[in-house]
Structure 1
């Protein structure tokens, strides 16, 4: 069985409740991924939903950059990053590094619930389709 794709979950402090709400609604779909997250967000996902999450440092301590490095290495399927557009973020350069890594390496990034839902549901639909490669081989 192939390894589950890696989904990174990140949320600014002002959006953590939104991400947890999203995770509650889509917990079954999220369990189909290998989840990675920044520190506080990851701990909340573990505590509230009992999800298996690899935690990196919190964003201000370098967690965004750690996830960006996984993107550059080609080890991330998609990123869900609930950004607080009205908040000030002292680690803004790290956030821009993460966004740039997604854009350079063509990794889908959702910055709100609507696009996050599309990413996790699309993967579920892909997994339910017959493997087209095996049909081509016959």
Structure 2
């Protein structure tokens, strides 16, 4: 994980405003990194950061927008994680509302655990992540060696 990170930002519909509030609060930390977002969240994050950057005469960070989660964005993000391109996932999910793509959400969280990707699923954890001394440093997460699984006899 390099000093300049690729941070994934995702939010379910009922949590999008919570994520935008968090982005507006932490915008100075986020603009030093590249961002990747799913669907509508990407547009909302871009608008929030553009506003903050314009007000403060700063450059808007690179924001890659994937498809909406239920339309394949969760899988696109999972692929980026499995390619070890994503440094961390900030995912404000809605625990009170069943999602039509719950299996995709579970797979995304599973792949984060598998590749030891920093994952925050609520504001408190996300605040701790961006305020950590490791946030602006190079950091090498230890990834479990799955070679015995990959090379097993079938």
TM-score interval (norm. to shorter): 0.7 to 0.9
- TM-score of the pair, normalised by structure 2: 0.77
> Do 1:81 and 1:110's aligned partners in 2 also have CA atoms closer than 8 Å?
yes
> Do 1:10 and 1:82's aligned partners in 2 also have CA atoms closer than 8 Å?
yes
Q: Which runs of 5+ in 1 are unaligned?
A: 132-138
Displacement of 1:82 in angstroms is 0.2
Listed one character per residue, the Cα deviations across residues 82-136 of structure 1 (whole Å, up to 9, x for unaligned) are 01000110011111110010011111110000111111222xx33667x9xxxxx
Q: Which gives a bigger RCO, structure 1 or 2 (Cα 8 Å, sep 6+)?
A: 2
> How is 1:61-76 mapped onto 2 (pairs within 5 angstroms)?
61-76=71-86
RMSD of the alignment, in Å? 1.8
Query: Which has a greater percent of helix?
Result: 1
Displacement of 1:60 in angstroms is 0.8
Listed one character per residue, the Cα deviations across residues 48-87 of structure 1 (whole Å, up to 9, x for unaligned) are 2214311000111011111111111111111000010001
Aligned twin of 1:110: 120
> How is 1:34-45 mapped onto 2 (pairs within 5 angstroms)?
34-45=34-45
Q: Which runs of 5+ in 2 are unaligned?
A: 51-59, 139-154
CA distance in 2, matches of 1:128, 1:118: 13
Q: Which stretch of the first structure deviates more once superposed, 19-28 or 112-121?
A: 112-121
> Do 1:78 and 1:119's aligned partners in 2 also have CA atoms closer than 8 Å?
no
Aligned twin of 2:20: 20
Question: Which residue, 55, 78, 91 being the options, matches 2:65?
Answer: 55
Equivalenced residues, count: 127
- TM-score of the pair, normalised by structure 1: 0.85
SS in 2 for 1:9: strand
Question: Which residue, 129, 135, 146 being the options, matches 1:119?
Answer: 129
Aligned twin of 1:91: 101
